[in-house]
């Protein structure tokens, strides 16, 4: 009477910290690099009987998935979440015949070196706002022949501009009360995710540099673009990234419109020349869109 359609299972919030000591320069003390990732793994494959027949023989315990994260962190070399996602996903595809696909998501903390006496400290760090992500979706029987889709991302990048934004000329119906405005605060939290092309060079690509370039491009467009809508700002951000980062094929954004509303002080005999605002927690607008690199014809 009932059938199992889709199923998947995995492990969330696997918290990995890896310290790499760079002793190449012979410096004393050595320079440390810190990689702090929170990992989510979902497996797809021949697991139906785990559900329907109480047969655990194919079941890779989620505890094993956790152990695998730490073992692969020790046995592989990486300097970016994209590279670690690639290595980790390969292990799951290669090692387990019953695994036909794996989805991995990494969220990386952003540690910046503390500056002491004008120099970057070799092993002490302060966290920066927002995180960096990498997502891989890999399907196939073994790592060599598998197909994978790899993305990088920015999460929680909060930006604010106090002018250079308006919203006019929109559609009106009988429930529309929003006034048009030529000058408003624009505030959002950028979540972005970009796809690397199929043939991306895992070892040769400087993924840190890609991330920094996209972060700077998004910030620059947000600052400079005279925004007629958050949608139009999204499009400007996307086209700029596509134009400046050849290794990116496509970029998606999800951005809340975090409304700041001019507080009406007229009841108190006070004017308010766009000076005092209240921020609202709810509701908020949400704007999404994907900008693709146009294929050549």
When asked if residue 176 is in the footprint of a copy of itself (CB under 8 A), the reply is yes
Using a 10 angstrom Cβ sphere, with 0-12 exposed, 13-18 middle and 19 or more buried, the burial of residue 192 is buried
- Measured from the CB of residue 50, what is the shortest distance to a copy of itself in angstroms? 5
Q: Is 259 a catalytic residue?
A: yes
Among 175, 199, 201, 297, binds a copy of itself (CB under 8 A): 175
Minimum Å gap between C-beta 206 and a copy of itself is 21
CB 194 within 8 A of CB 155: no
Instruction: Confirm if 60 and 96 have CB atoms less than 8 A apart.
Output: yes
- Binding a copy of itself (rule: CB under 8 A), the pick from 106, 185, 210, 247 is 185
- Supply the DSSP symbol for 200: -
Give the binding range for a copy of itself (CB under 8 A) out of 138-146, 196-204, 205-213, 238-246.
238-246
Say whether 62 is catalytic: yes
181 binds a copy of itself (CB under 8 A): no
- Alpha-carbon distance of 217 to 244, in angstroms, equals 8
Give yes or no for residue 54 binding a copy of itself (CB under 8 A). Answer: yes
Note whether 161 binds a copy of itself by CB under 8 A. Answer: yes
- R_g (Cα) of the chain, nearest Å: 24
Q: With binding defined as CB under 8 A, does residue 28 bind a copy of itself?
A: no
Q: Which one of 93, 134, 157, 245 is in contact with a copy of itself (CB under 8 A)?
A: 157
Figure out which of the listed residues 22, 198, 243, 246 binds a copy of itself, where binding follows CB under 8 A: 243
Residue choice 147, 170, 198, 208 for contact with a copy of itself (CB under 8 A): 170
What is d(CA 217, CA 195) in angstroms, rounded to the nearest whole number? Answer: 16
Calpha distance 101→42 (Å, rounded):
8
Options 177, 199, 201, 203; binder of a copy of itself; rule CB under 8 A: 177
Grouping H, G, I as helix, E, B as strand and the rest as coil, residue 154 is strand
List all residues 6 or more positions away from 282 whose beta carbon is below 8 Å from its beta carbon.
Answer: none
- 35: nearest Cα among 93, 89, 76: 76
Q: Is 281 in the site for a copy of itself (CB under 8 A)?
A: yes
Q: Which of residues 71-110 bind a copy of itself (CB under 8 A)?
A: 71, 73-75, 95-96, 98
Give the chain's end-to-end CA distance (angstroms, integer).
51
Can residue 232 be called a binding residue for a copy of itself (CB under 8 A)?
A: yes
**Active-site annotation holder among 32, 38, 62, 215:** 62
Catalytic residues: 11, 62, 259
């Amino acid at each position: 009477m009932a059938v199992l359609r889709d199923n998947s299972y995995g492990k969330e919030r696997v918290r990995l910290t890896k310290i790499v000591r760079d002793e190449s320069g012979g410096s004393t003390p050595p320079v440390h690099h810190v990689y702090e990732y929170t990992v989510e793994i979902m497996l797809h494959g021949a697991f139906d009987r785990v559900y329907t027949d109480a047969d655990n023989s194919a079941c890779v315990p989620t505890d094993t998935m956790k152990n695998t994260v730490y073992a692969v962190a020790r046995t592989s070399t990486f300097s970016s979440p994209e590279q670690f996602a690639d290595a980790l996903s390969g292990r799951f595809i290669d090692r387990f015949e019953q695994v036909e696909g794996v989805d991995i998501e990494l969220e990386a903390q952003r540690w910046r070196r503390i500056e002491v006496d004008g120099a970057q400290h070799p092993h002490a760090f302060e966290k920066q706002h927002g995180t960096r992500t990498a997502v891989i979706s890999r399907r196939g029987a073994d790592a060599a022949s598998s197909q994978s889709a790899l993305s990088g991302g920015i999460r929680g990048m909060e930006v604010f501009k106090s002018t250079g934004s308006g919203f006019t000329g929109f559609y009106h119906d009988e429930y529309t009360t929003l006034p048009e405005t030529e000058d408003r605060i624009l505030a959002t939290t950028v979540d972005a995710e970009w796809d690397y092309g199929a043939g991306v060079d895992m070892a040769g690509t400087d993924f840190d540099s890609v991330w920094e370039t996209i972060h700077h491009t998004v910030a620059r467009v947000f600052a400079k673009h005279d925004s007629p809508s958050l949608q139009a700002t999204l499009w400007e951000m996307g086209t700029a990234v596509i134009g400046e980062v050849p290794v990116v094929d496509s970029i998606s954004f999800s951005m809340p419109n975090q409304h700041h509303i001019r507080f009406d002080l007229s009841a108190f005999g006070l004017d308010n020349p766009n000076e005092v605002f209240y921020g609202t927690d709810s509701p908020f607008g949400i704007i999404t869109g994907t900008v693709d690199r146009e294929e050549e014809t």
